Amino acid sequence: MNAFAPSSTAAIVVAAGQGLRAGGEVPKQFAPWRGKPLARHSVEAFIKAGLARVVVVIPADGEALAEAALAGLDVDLVTGGATRQDSVAAGLASLADMTPAAVLIHDAARPGLPQAVIARLLAALDASAGAVPVLPVVDSLYRDGDGPVARDGLYRIQTPQAFRYAEILAAHRAWQGDTTAGDDAEVARAAGLAVALIEGDEALRKVTYAADLAEPARHARTGFGFDVHRLVEGEELWLCGVKIEHSKGLTGHSDADVALHAVTDAVLGAAAAGDIGDHFPPSDPLWRGAPSNRFLAHAVALAREAGYGVDHVDVTIVCEAPRIGPHKLAMRTRLAQILGLGIEAVSVKATTTERLGFTGRGEGIAAQSVATLVPLNHGTA
């Protein structure tokens, strides 16, 4: 059982910088981004998570801006210091009256804060004094004058960073020298504290430049997919990633899972990323006999690169036989696993054409699907 529950946890949102690289008339943390002041997004995420208290650390002259940006939200405003480390120390000191069990320290410039990341961070504190979200480095790296740098063991560090409150407070107070630590994990490690690395999220990307603030608001998207495959003897029958015993199976260049193909096209359509044939052409021998879950996983990854996560999928399988009902739960479970969703966000239905047409004659199976994508800054995992 996780000992560090949201109800015994506080959050510190660091919003005391000047945001010079973003330009503008106000510091970027108070500038509008996707319909709200930048800092408000993560503050609302912490409140939604049920944290006991949220402290926002602001510039010395930023009270009016902060009050306007966070109007209606139950937060404490604390004046920050000359450096980020000074500002965090001020936020930690302000929590001494309640001494929370844990504290999440977050940069206001990372507005997309998924609830799943908060949960993973708090769970990690059972075994470690601190935890930080990280993502692998996927780009090639070069050091000027030295050439390529190996990516093994390199990570992109994100916030929020979670700590047992008493231990990170003591670590800040024990810090020696200039208060220029890059993040709180550095402060924790300097004090000998163990810091775990947990899975981060692309939604937590940092808003840095004016162009980032100018990014237009995005909304949910819906895509539609449809596919047909012929039933023949001597082939395996795969539907929604589940092998079904039947006298005939579907034929195609891959494993011919008509349901997964329809879902893949729905996700690609919602992401405006073409169709399954664009990415996995039947003419390419690489995909001969390939499991269709690879196609769907690729579509989900493309959607995430575009800034969207799959929120819900509905698929309808059209056939006279086999009966789909006995396999629905297994299909929903496998489809949810491939998509990285809870089973409650996946629907599998079946129908017949009353023995009309090619599906009615048992010559093939058709499937159609609808997929809904939402912007990752809405908190998708």
Residues 6+ apart with CB under 8 A from 122: 2, 4, 5, 6, 9, 102, 104, 162
Q: At what angle do helices 328-339 and 258-270 cross, to 10 degrees?
A: 40
Q: Which long-range contacts (CB under 8 A, 24 or more apart) does 342-346 make?
A: 345/310, 345/311, 345/312, 345/313, 346/312, 346/313
114 is a domain residue = yes
Any idea what the CATH number is for the domain that residue 253 is in? Answer: 3.30.1330.50
Q: At which residue do the structure tokens 């998509």 appear?
A: 339
Shared domain check, 162 and 266? no
Which residue, 172, 195, 213, sits at the end of a domain? 213
> Quick one: which of 342, 334, 321, 270 has its CA closest to 299?
270
Based on the fold, state whether residues 201 and 232 are members of the same structural domain: no
pLDDT score, position 2? 65
Question: Where a domain ends, among 175, 194, 213?
Answer: 213
Does residue 380 have a pLDDT over 50? no
We report the CATH number of the domain holding residue 14 as 3.90.550.10
Q: At 133, is the pLDDT very low, low, confident or very high (cuts 50, 70, 90)?
A: very high
Judge if 89 and 164 occupy the same domain: yes
- By percentage, how much of the chain surpasses pLDDT 90? 78
How confident is residue 18, by pLDDT bands cut at 50, 70 and 90?
A: confident
Q: Both 207 and 297 in a single domain?
A: no
In this structure, the answer to whether residues 40 and 94 fall within a common structural domain is: yes
- Is residue 207 scored above 60 in pLDDT? yes
Q: In the chain, what is the greatest distance between 2 CA atoms, to the nearest angstrom?
A: 80
For the ranges 34-43, 234-243, 273-282, the one whose mean pLDDT is highest? 234-243
Same domain, 145 and 30: yes
Q: Is the dihedral of CA 43, 45, 47, 52 positive or negative?
A: negative
Question: Which carries the bigger pLDDT value, residue 304 or residue 191?
Answer: 191
How many angstroms separate the CA atoms of 85 and 209, rounded? 22
Q: Which residues contact 25 (CB under 8 A, 6 or more apart)?
A: none
Residue 284 in any domain: the answer is yes
pLDDT digits (tens, 9 = 90+) for 106-120: 999 999 999 999 999
Task: Tell me which of 213, 232, 258 is where a domain ends.
Answer: 213
Residue with the bigger pLDDT between 332 and 219: it is 332
Other Cβ atoms closer than 10 A to 168: 26
In the block, residue with structure tokens 């399954």:
276
Question: pLDDT digit string (tens) for 147-199?
Answer: 898 888 899 999 999 999 999 999 999 999 999 999 999 999 999 999 999 99
Say if 183 falls within a structural domain: yes
336 with 309, same domain: the answer is yes
Residues with Cβ within 8 Å of 33's Cβ and at least 6 positions away in sequence, in order, are: 41, 111, 207, 212, 213, 215
Q: Is the domain of 169 the same as that of 241?
A: no
Residue 349 domain boundaries: 221-378
Q: Is residue 342 part of a domain?
A: yes
Domain count, the chain: 2
Q: Indicate if 155 and 227 belong to the same structural domain.
A: no
Residues 11 and 141 in one domain: yes
Same domain, 17 and 55: yes
11 or 211, which is more confident?
A: 11
Residues contacting residue 112 through CB under 8 Å, at least 6 positions apart = 41, 201, 203, 204, 205, 376, 377, 378, 379
Residues 197 and 49 in one domain: yes
Q: Look at the block and give the residue holding tokens 């550095």.
A: 186
pLDDT band at 377 (very low <50, low <70, confident <90, very high): low
C-alpha 125/C-alpha 193 separation (Å) is: 12
| Cα separation of the two ends of the chain | 22
Q: How confident is the model at residue 379 (pLDDT cuts 50, 70, 90)?
A: very low
By three-state DSSP, how is residue 32 classified? strand
Neighbours of 140 (CB within 10 A): 8
Q: At how many degrees (to 10) do helices 328-339 and 293-305 cross?
A: 40
In a domain, residue 1? The reply is no
- The DSSP code for 148 is E
Q: In the block, which residue shows the tokens 């995420």?
A: 45
138: nearest Cα among 305, 299, 9, 268: 305
User: How would residue 22 be classed by pLDDT, with cut points 50, 70 and 90?
Assistant: low
Within a domain: 81: yes
pLDDT at residue 243 greater than cutoff 50: yes
